[in-house]
Structure 1
Amino acid sequence: MAQETVLPNATGASPLMPRYDQIFPTLTPGEIDRLRPYGTIRHYEDRDTLFETGEASCGLFVILAGHVAITQRDGLGHVVPIVEEGPGQFLAEVGQLSGRPALVDGRALGAVDVLLIPPDHLRRLLIGEADLGERITRALILRRVNLIQSGAGGPVLVGPATSNSILRLQNFLTRNGLPHHVLDPSADPEAGDVVARYAPAAEDLPLAIFADGTVIRQATEEAIAAKLGMIASGARDRIYDVAIVGAGPAGLATAVYAASEGLSVLVFDERAYGGQAGASARIENYLGFPTGIAGQALTGRAYVQAQKFGAEMMIPCPVKSLDCTNASSTFALVIDDGAPVCARSVVVATGARYRRPDIPPLATFEGRGVWYWASPIEAQLCAGQDVILVGGGNSAGQAAVFLSGHVKSVKMMIRGDDLADSMSRYLIDRIAAASNIQLMRRTEIIGLSGQPEAWLERVRWREGRDGAETEADIRNVFLFIGADPATGWLAGCDVTIDKAGFILTGETPAKTGASPLQSSMPGVFAVGDVRSGSVKRVGGAIGEGAQVVAAIHRYLADHPMTPMAQESALAMRESRPEP
């Protein structure tokens, strides 16, 4: 049985955390009166549970009378107090915008009366009450940030801290803005006891342990996502105005603008929101952020903003194929072996993936020293070491600058003679000013070595016009070279691509009223890096995501959803068995 600590009354006390007043604001009686039309009154007796970690939350609770203790709890029986909230304060975090499971416990301390605002009414409130909505939204976001920093409410990952599987799960949860923490059996006695009980065989690791006591052996991203309720339910029960495939900057921009203009929106991504931009340590040339902003912070705000306007999320959820059989009325997005999800229009925002060069044996060391992104997780792993970074684009430049603050040195390898053709000037200057970044021109990696199923140990490269070869002890290589578009799932649908696989747009006959962002298939649009000829910049992707919404409106107006079309779409959906 977990040992609980009774929280001292923090209401009115000196704040023990930065920005306390923004995280736990107190509403005035007049402000509460403005919220009353959005909710209903509920009463709780002493020690009653208002919400529980891992269980679907009812929405936002505004305390009218009494006090509520908020505690964090993990699957190992630890219960830690966070705060006690009283009259005028509210209980929720960003997960309540979409009805996600609670990440903390809330328990009544004495009799409590609350105004309960369910998720759909909460979204209406945030839009309808602009000034209050701003304060509430800021508090919800900051609360999630604090939960991430403490690891509260998320799974406990148990396994070697440097193992490929643990690092993969950490990156997945971090990119999705979900709290978690890691216990290494070699360093933590409690983790050793857990492993002895639940994972006597090495192949049982990693473990993921949840607040309700559930233990998942050989934990995967899919299993954790299912347990955390990350994928929106009920998506197959309706026909959306627009389905967006890809939750990078372009897809999120489309979701924000489309949902804010009243369209029903469903967003898919196979792994996490943010795309390549979400993995950027710092973006300094995006309008409005003179000191720069982390890619995770920028795209995380867009993710919350889209949900605020009612966009639904299916993340992680890869789209396997697009069925255009009934394209004159609806499209079917096949996501598994069951019934498809139907939408009247589709925006492809799947972006492009960094290429995997032909370096033997590259695949052996992916996740064991070979990386395609540079987050704080990887930076911590290679702290104080010499690392290699390959690539000459903006993402490579941002990664090099970021890593230079953590590692001994960065050997930055490019095939050409200069960075000016592919990188912004401010990054070139930043790289030149960093004493521990060595720019190596006309250089390429030709070999990797290390023990099988173990960490990368040595790297061999060819440098300069004379082709001199060098080998050195390097345990971490970061690859940011070129990009291949993620368009394979469109095979079989009449969407024209160029020789490199990027989607051609704006070539449909004028009589269809096509947009410059519409593909050869009317109703299917492409934005961001996946579009042939697009500007490979965050600002360009966001601009296209906003621009395409006007074209979607025109297309939907020209293709109204008649009862016959709706019946056809439903028949197509029901023709496949449920999974």
Structure 2
Amino acid sequence: MAKPTIVTVDDDESVSTAIARDLRTRYGDDYRVVRATSGAGGLDVLRRLARRGQPVALVAADERMPGMTGIQMLSQVREYAPTAKLLLLTAYADMDAAIAGINDIGLDQFLLKPWDPPQERLYPAVDELLDDWLRANPDHTSDIRVVGHRWSDRTHDIKTFLARNHIPYHWYDVEDDADEAARLLGLGGAAVADVPVVLTPEGVTLRSPSTYDLATALGLRTQAEQPVYDLAIVGAGPAGLAAAVYAASEGLSTVVIEGEAPGGQAGQSAAIENYLGFPRGLTGGDLAQRAIAQVGRFGAELVVARDVVGLERRGPVRALTLAGGGSVEARAIVVATGMSYRLLPAKGVPDLTGRGLYYGVGAGEASQCEGDVVHVVGAANSAGQAVLNLARYAKRVVVLARGTSLDDSMSRYLVERIEAAPNVEVRYRAEVLEVKGEGHVESLVIGDRDTGDREVVASSWLFVFIGATPHTDWLGGEVVRDDEGYLLTGRWLQRDEESRGWPLARAPYALETSVPGVFAAGDARHDSMKRVASAVGEGAMAVALVHRYLAAT
């Protein structure tokens, strides 16, 4: 593939020359840098590159240009370079234009001029934008290939695991891509009866693999390396990853154990727009990938595709027992297991889950619904984000809400976007009574909660967001929970004379459970806020309390 191009646009010749020079110095080995001195000139460059099929990674434009401002020029870039990152160079007085650009045209970043020294004020921002572009536009020559059936729950599980672990793959349906699927199965010595089949670039063929076998074959870490750690963290959502970053950076030997993929439920979000420091927002996958990089940088281990099924006391250490055998020992534990989706209580659900009926939807999965009618059950923020993501591809998205208003459970900025979307319909006081289909979802029985009327509607896709329950059953009876399964910590353990099972003379630390040395952070904890930012904060706070606990033992 030809080198991707970086296009710079600035009407000041000296500034144009300077930024092109600085970008070539840093990125010239991997990118072609082309400059233009007007908005019209920049668009002409993009037209020529588009005609040649040459990829454009970044367009950087000055705001104050005569004839066509930077925002006006950038607003037309994606006509010629749909995946290019947009960077605005501006003065402090033009901040309003930059914010409007974020809201109106999807501006990715803005930088204040001058950018000297570039090592501090230019390169970090451009590094981030180009890293994001490369992740979204990988070289597909070494992709994993997955052959399966569109309505197979195992195929869906494998595709989801690969996507959430940021592993590029190419998907072939045994019906829609019959010839190529048959060719690949033949190359791998497999048959249609073996699907889903995964073919690795190294020539290994995996027939309907478990996520553990898949992770092992792909070289992901599935085993802890040390016999005992200072801290073991269960769950790699925002709380668990934050705890790992702070613990490892402060010198604690740290391991994170995750049953599926880093990011938790937040990692599947198509857009997190209210997280501090990201004015344009970011996807849950982006947030997870950034956190994973930090975890690795500070030396914490990340073990994936291993479910923790029990907790034991072994003298001065705590042991986490793993599904399939084995255990991990640590002096302290942080439970950050988050939530599991609440199951839809409707007839037909067990047989069709994973076959058109799904709990949650990943940021990259919505394209599978292109041109179809999609139904979404739920009215909280996670449902709203999914609806907007699905609406980019689906012919129509129908939201089924039990209440009378989205405002009761969804942030206003999401409500406004849903109301403005021309292909989104909201049905209030509606619920799914039955899911029907032979082998996959084909129709839904929708009930009116006020009148009791029932209606059968055709649908191939049903995404469910009806709340979640804490994933804490594996902890057994020694760790005290409330009636809904949330972990009691700190002052909640001492709210009555029985002290709710707390065994020591000292008071429990703020995030400490009823087992000393076992802490809870994030959504699984009683009275937590159920927000990404609060989960990150609790993960960091838990590490401070772990230090205090370890110093006293």
TM-score, L = length of structure 2: 0.73
Contact (CA 8 Å) 2:377, 2:466: kept in 1 or not? yes
Deviation at 1:412, TM superposition (A): 1.1
Deviation at 1:290, TM superposition (A): 1.6
Contact (CA 8 Å) 2:521, 2:538: kept in 1 or not? yes
Q: Is 1:207 aligned to 2:191, yes or no?
A: no
Cα distance in 2 between the residues matched to 1:300 and 1:230: 15
The code of the aligned residue for 2:4 comes to: L
Cα distance in 1 between the residues matched to 2:146 and 2:343: 29
Q: Is 1:484 aligned to 2:463, yes or no?
A: no
Query: Which of the pair has the greater relative contact order for Cα pairs under 8 Å at 6+ separation?
Result: 1
Contact (CA 8 Å) 1:246, 1:348: kept in 2 or not? yes
What does the per-residue CA deviation read over 1:439-492, in whole Å, with 9 as the maximum and x for residues that have no partner?
Answer: 2222110011111xx221000111241122111101101100021111111014
Cα distance in 1 between the residues matched to 2:403 and 2:125: 50
The code of the aligned residue for 1:537 comes to: R
Cα distance in 2 between the residues matched to 1:170 and 1:194: 17
Q: How does 1:3-402 map to 2 (within 5 A)?
A: 15-17=3-5, 138=127, 142=131, 145-146=134-135, 149-161=138-150, 163-186=152-175, 187=177, 189-196=179-186, 198=188, 201-231=191-221, 233-235=223-225, 237-326=226-315, 329-336=316-323, 338-402=325-389
Cα distance in 1 between the residues matched to 2:4 and 2:306: 39
Count of aligned pairs between the two proteins: 439
The code of the aligned residue for 2:489 comes to: T
The code of the aligned residue for 1:217 comes to: R
Question: Are residues 357 and 143 of structure 1, via their aligned partners in 2, closer, same or farther at CA, if it must alter by over 3 Å?
Answer: closer
The code of the aligned residue for 1:258 comes to: A
- Structure 2 match to 1:502: 486
- Structure 1 match to 2:394: 407
Deviation at 1:419, TM superposition (A): 2.6
The code of the aligned residue for 1:367 comes to: G
Question: Are residues 556 and 354 of structure 1, via their aligned partners in 2, closer, same or farther at CA, if it must alter by over 3 Å?
Answer: same
% same residue: 38
Q: Is 1:551 aligned to 2:545, yes or no?
A: yes
- Structure 2 match to 1:538: 532
Question: Are residues 458 and 137 of structure 1, via their aligned partners in 2, closer, same or farther at CA, if it must alter by over 3 Å?
Answer: same
TM-score, L = length of structure 1: 0.70
CA RMSD of superposed structures (Å): 3.0
The code of the aligned residue for 1:422 comes to: S
Larger mean CA deviation between 244-253 and 463-472 belongs to 463-472
Question: Are residues 402 and 147 of structure 1, via their aligned partners in 2, closer, same or farther at CA, if it must alter by over 3 Å?
Answer: closer
Cα distance in 2 between the residues matched to 1:234 and 1:257: 19
Question: Are residues 165 and 338 of structure 1, via their aligned partners in 2, closer, same or farther at CA, if it must alter by over 3 Å?
Answer: closer
Cα distance in 2 between the residues matched to 1:136 and 1:405: 28
What does the per-residue CA deviation read over 1:228-270, in whole Å, with 9 as the maximum and x for residues that have no partner?
Answer: 12125452x3311111101011111111111111111100110
Q: Is 1:426 aligned to 2:413, yes or no?
A: yes
Question: Are residues 388 and 282 of structure 1, via their aligned partners in 2, closer, same or farther at CA, if it must alter by over 3 Å?
Answer: same
Q: How does 1:511-522 map to 2 (within 5 A)?
A: 511-522=505-516
Contact (CA 8 Å) 1:243, 1:266: kept in 2 or not? yes
Cα distance in 2 between the residues matched to 1:136 and 1:259: 26
What does the per-residue CA deviation read over 1:266-305, in whole Å, with 9 as the maximum and x for residues that have no partner?
Answer: 0011000001111000011111112111111011101111
Unpaired stretches in structure 1, ≥5 consecutive residues: 1-6, 28-81, 83-129, 560-579
What does the per-residue CA deviation read over 1:124-166, in whole Å, with 9 as the maximum and x for residues that have no partner?
Answer: xxxxxx979x969958993994487334544221234554333
Question: Are residues 25 and 364 of structure 1, via their aligned partners in 2, closer, same or farther at CA, if it must alter by over 3 Å?
Answer: farther
Larger mean CA deviation between 305-314 and 210-219 belongs to 210-219
Equivalent position SS for 1:554:
helix
Cα distance in 1 between the residues matched to 2:127 and 2:548: 34
Equivalent position SS for 1:324:
strand
Cα distance in 2 between the residues matched to 1:266 and 1:401: 36
- Structure 1 match to 2:82: none
The code of the aligned residue for 2:486 comes to: F
Unpaired stretches in structure 2, ≥5 consecutive residues: 8-22, 31-54, 56-118, 495-501
The code of the aligned residue for 2:417 comes to: R
Cα distance in 2 between the residues matched to 1:268 and 1:463: 43
What does the per-residue CA deviation read over 1:74-128, in whole Å, with 9 as the maximum and x for residues that have no partner?
Answer: xxxxxxxx9xxxxxxxxxxxxxxxxxxxxxxxxxxxxxxxxxxxxxxxxxxxxxx
Question: Are residues 338 and 483 of structure 1, via their aligned partners in 2, closer, same or farther at CA, if it must alter by over 3 Å?
Answer: closer
The code of the aligned residue for 1:477 comes to: L
Cα distance in 1 between the residues matched to 2:373 and 2:311: 45
Deviation at 1:196, TM superposition (A): 3.6
Contact (CA 8 Å) 1:273, 1:303: kept in 2 or not? yes
**Counterpart among 449, 460, 467 of residue 452 in structure 2:** 467
Contact (CA 8 Å) 2:151, 2:354: kept in 1 or not? no
Equivalent position SS for 1:477:
strand
What does the per-residue CA deviation read over 1:520-553, in whole Å, with 9 as the maximum and x for residues that have no partner?
Answer: 1111111111001110111111111111111011
Deviation at 1:183, TM superposition (A): 3.1
Larger mean CA deviation between 293-302 and 141-150 belongs to 141-150
Cα distance in 2 between the residues matched to 1:147 and 1:376: 12
The code of the aligned residue for 1:538 comes to: V
Contact (CA 8 Å) 2:224, 2:301: kept in 1 or not? no
